[in-house]
Structure 1
Amino acid sequence: MPILFSYAAKLLNPNITKAITTKLISTIPLNFTSTKHMSQKCTSISKKQQRVRDHAYDNYMEIEKKMRKVLKFQTLFLSQHNQTLPVSRLDFLARRIGFKRQEAGSFLLKFPHVFEIYEHPVQRILYCRLTRKALLQIEQEKKALNAQIPEAVTRLRKLLMMSNSGCLRLEHVRIARTEFGLPEDFEYSVVLKNAQFFRLFNAKESTEKYIELVGRDPSLAVCAIEKVREKEYRERGIDAEDIRFSFLVNFPPGFKIGKYYRIAVWKWQRVPYWSPYEDVSGYDLRSLEAQKRMEKRAVATIHELLTLTVEKKITLERIAHFRLAMNLPKKLKEFLLQHQGIFYISTRGNHGKLHTVFLREAYRKGELLEPNDLYLARRKLGELVLMSPRKVKMDTELVRNRRDRHDGGGYMGRSTVVHANNGFDNFGVKENAGGDQKGDADLDSDLGSNVESDTSDENDDYDSVETIDAEDYDMGM
């Protein structure tokens, strides 16, 4: 009997009870955990989380920074007659796409696997064009884009099902068409060609066009996270109650997880929420419990939005376009920083102008875990951009590669460019004082030392037609 009283006294000791609770909580696995602001109690997750950088995603964005500039030049070349452009007009036209004076030529010389300069066989003047590898990559991306149009139709249907009224502004969808794998003419090839799923109409109060969903398909109202939970339950044998409302979490390296933070995460993981595809207009959202559910529903909505994209990433500014239609929080950046184990916000590669949101569970070491054909085709361009200029083959096949159109020129060295422009090449480089001109070998040496340097892109990150309504967006800075 005294032993029993002694054991009970130990259990009632607050220090021992606290130690036992800490030990139990520390054994909870974090591979299926999330971060979320619940309430203002001591166990809630703080709103102001310290942002931890993940270099794998930042390096990914550094490559995409170069790709965005290359894509601008590709669009410029493809819009010209015979897809070629005289070197004399290059500097003038490049200013329209955000390049500074005498900057375009040096930029093209950094990527000889994408662009090449040749001498016209008849006119005897210098032209620039896309290489054969670049044209093959563009053709591969077009084929992949056309082949996945049926999947794009499904993605657009699911996107409309997540909106409150079942319709979205056509302009907002058009701005984000690249992320969702929609072709440039999606208004015709996707919307109008599938009248059984979509309908276009004009708003009464404005001239804006809207896409409306015709009928809801219950089979599409299944979130991607629900399939992941089922997989975890069947393969790993995790308790169904523990993963019923949980999210996969993979915190960035160096993220500090304290004791109370772990407890708050564990509690938030068990908070139920409404599905992003569920209509919540009939619920009373004034209670604290309803607000918790809506906050967690916002996490599920952004999670599902990212899974619908081709590369499982999208800019924060484009998510803001869907804020009102999908009941997302006003301060999106602050909201997402509370969930660094689910999402990652990168500001690299664009001087902090745009914020790219990644779905962490879809990537590993900066690579997509389940790549698709369209993603692989786009990454081909990244491979061409990263290839060293020194590896350009100067053999007969590449120098004399002929096109279906007029051809006959090959790769031109800087010495030819200088000679054709009376001592000044068109890229703003003058002959050296001794009158010697740099040959192709010297050009390779110059490019090898300058390949890592990048030109200024102060104006290359925003779409020229992309605008954000003031009521739709608040960065929460």
Structure 2
Amino acid sequence: MPSFVMWRRSQLHLHQLPAASAFRSLSQSTSIPKKLQRVRDYAFDGIMEVEKKVRRALQLQSILLSQPSASLPVSRLDALARRYLSFEPHEVGHFLLKHPHVFHVFDHPVQRLLWARLTPRAALRLRHESEALRSMLPDAVRRLRKLLLLATPSRRLRLEHIRVARYDLGLPDDFEQSVVLAHPSFFRLVASSDCPDDPRSKYVEFVDDPADAEELADLTVCAIERTREREYRERGTDAEDSRFAFLVNFPPGFKIGKYYRVAVWKWQRLPYWSPYEDVSGYDLRSLEAKRRMEKRMVATIHELLSLSVEKRMPMERIAQFRQAIGLPKKMKEFLLQHQGIFYISTRGNQGKLHTVFLREAYYKGQLVEPNELYLARKKLGELLLLSPKRANLDRMLTSLGRGTDVLGKGASGAKMDLPEGQLDQISEDEDSGSDSGVESQFVE
């Protein structure tokens, strides 16, 4: 049967859910099991393998950019990385030589020591990310407003928690000034009455304007609600089946029994309260109310991941909002119950890091709806994956003293002096990954 074949492929779509009459004769329990084994999805694990290199590169990049000349001796960089970033001995040197498209290792002309700095491609990528972050600032303001609305009924979050998650939310490092204090009509920064002098006790509150009720109504529309509307218009699914349903796409190899299918079908039709709705006044002691609250938690995590730039977030950062937005205590077990909606990857930090992906936002390892900031960050991973044999252009330019940092200055502090056509050619080479036309004499 077609539905059986689709389920063997571990694909569940709203229009393929079985009718209610097909399961009236079943007397088995139809609740979703509380404990399920995690089934690996290598498409998402592959993303985290690249992300592991990206995190290492960003850590070393932050040390280099903290120096006035944006460069350091390799021995000094190795010592700082071992002390503050938990690098292994000699790991920095191997990493630098393995990724010459991002880091340039050269002989210092005076000290006769090996030094390291960023390549022009890495500096250009850093500038693109900074420009994308600046251009997407209005979107960041909207994301932060929606995040505060999730914290019902107080509509406020700890400033330190937002600071920890600023990279995932697409907020600049100085978001306290550039976002919170720069928009007093949207946000209010308050201090806790218990410790008013402690900077970690500050909170960011949502400022409600009663005159702008239409905009508030638009902010409280969840991403899954817009997805349901799009699916309903494109696929013509049954309105009753899709009213409270989520897009479910199980990983390959996920075993789906007939009773589990019934449980998922019943769960998809279960009504629930919106994550933006205040439920503090409801009686939540009944079994039906508890089931609705559990589904509301799924919708809350779904909305939180939808607010992130890359539709993924470390589980530890999600858990820090647990009390504010009403999330379960056993986060991992809860997410494993819904492996068709979320995926937990343990790759990237020897199993110590758990990254939660929103499955519907990705297709074949790529974001379905990419944004400028995501594309700018993705270029660093592409540079890290390039073959070291094709690093001639970067080595040539940095050897000539024309390497640039994010401020458009060379490693020695002098301004970059390249003809406009040549700079455009560098950008084209960066996009294509080609280093053709560079002779082998520039290979050190």
Same-fold call, TM > 0.5? Answer: yes
Counterpart position of 1:278 = 277
**Counterparts of 1:275 and 1:65, CA distance in 2:** 35
Counterpart position of 1:62 = 49
1:86-142 C-alpha deviation (Å, 9 max, x unpaired): 234222222222213332212211110011122333454432111000000100000
Residue of 106, 123, 127 corresponding to 1:139: 127
What is the one-letter code of the residue matched to 1:361?
A: E
**Counterparts of 2:183 and 2:149, CA distance in 1:** 16
Structure whose alpha-carbon radius of gyration is higher:
1
Stretches of structure 1 that go unaligned for 5 or more consecutive residues are: 1-21, 35-39, 409-439, 445-477
Counterpart position of 1:422 = none
Residue pair 1:120, 1:407 contacting (<8 A) in 2 also: no
Counterpart position of 1:72 = 59
Counterpart position of 2:322 = 323
Residue pair 2:70, 2:411 contacting (<8 A) in 1 also: no
**Counterparts of 1:226 and 1:389, CA distance in 2:** 46
Distance of aligned partners of 1:390 and 1:239 in 2 relative to their CA distance in 1, 3 Å threshold: same
Deviates more, 1:395-404 or 1:187-196: 395-404
1:203-230 C-alpha deviation (Å, 9 max, x unpaired): 1123301011011612210001111111
Alignment of 1:49-198 (within 5 A): 49-95=36-82, 96-164=84-152, 165-198=154-187
Counterpart position of 2:436 = none
Residue of 182, 187, 207 corresponding to 1:214: 207
Residue pair 1:62, 1:348 contacting (<8 A) in 2 also: yes
**Equivalent pairs, count:** 382
1:115-171 C-alpha deviation (Å, 9 max, x unpaired): 112233345443211100000010000000011111000000000001021000000
Deviates more, 1:160-169 or 1:210-219: 210-219
Distance of aligned partners of 1:313 and 1:304 in 2 relative to their CA distance in 1, 3 Å threshold: same
**Counterparts of 1:121 and 1:99, CA distance in 2:** 28
Alignment of 1:65-464 (within 5 A): 65-95=52-82, 96-164=84-152, 165-206=154-195, 207=198, 208-215=201-208, 217-393=216-392, 396-397=396-397, 399-403=399-403, 404-405=409-410
SS, match of residue 246 in structure 2: coil
- Give me the identity figure in percent: 62
**Counterparts of 1:64 and 1:50, CA distance in 2:** 24
Residue pair 2:120, 2:397 contacting (<8 A) in 1 also: no
**Counterparts of 2:146 and 2:327, CA distance in 1:** 17
Deviates more, 1:300-309 or 1:225-234: 225-234
Query: Structure 1 residue 407: deviation in Å?
Result: 5.6
Counterpart position of 2:24 = none
Counterpart position of 2:213 = none
Residue pair 2:148, 2:157 contacting (<8 A) in 1 also: yes
Residue pair 1:31, 1:250 contacting (<8 A) in 2 also: yes
> Normalized against structure 1, the TM-score is what?
0.76
- Two-structure CA RMSD over aligned residues (Å): 2.4
What is the one-letter code of the residue matched to 2:50?
A: I
Residue pair 2:151, 2:157 contacting (<8 A) in 1 also: yes
**Counterparts of 2:30 and 2:52, CA distance in 1:** 40
> Normalized against structure 2, the TM-score is what?
0.82
Query: Structure 1 residue 288: deviation in Å?
Result: 1.1
Query: Structure 1 residue 351: deviation in Å?
Result: 1.0
Query: Structure 1 residue 44: deviation in Å?
Result: 1.1
Counterpart position of 1:30 = 12
What is the one-letter code of the residue matched to 1:45?
A: I
**Counterparts of 1:169 and 1:271, CA distance in 2:** 33
What is the one-letter code of the residue matched to 1:62?
A: E
Residue pair 2:104, 2:398 contacting (<8 A) in 1 also: no
**Counterparts of 1:397 and 1:108, CA distance in 2:** 17
Distance of aligned partners of 1:342 and 1:159 in 2 relative to their CA distance in 1, 3 Å threshold: same
Distance of aligned partners of 1:267 and 1:309 in 2 relative to their CA distance in 1, 3 Å threshold: same
**Counterparts of 1:72 and 1:336, CA distance in 2:** 30
Distance of aligned partners of 1:406 and 1:341 in 2 relative to their CA distance in 1, 3 Å threshold: closer
**Counterparts of 1:266 and 1:119, CA distance in 2:** 65
SS, match of residue 85 in structure 1: strand
1:13-58 C-alpha deviation (Å, 9 max, x unpaired): xxxxxxxxx9xx99xx821389xxxxx9711111111211000000
What is the one-letter code of the residue matched to 1:177?
A: R
SS, match of residue 200 in structure 1: strand
**Counterparts of 2:43 and 2:411, CA distance in 1:** 44
SS, match of residue 12 in structure 2: coil
Stretches of structure 2 that go unaligned for 5 or more consecutive residues are: 18-26, 210-215, 404-408, 414-439
What is the one-letter code of the residue matched to 2:107?
A: E
Query: Structure 1 residue 312: deviation in Å?
Result: 0.1
Residue pair 1:310, 1:375 contacting (<8 A) in 2 also: yes
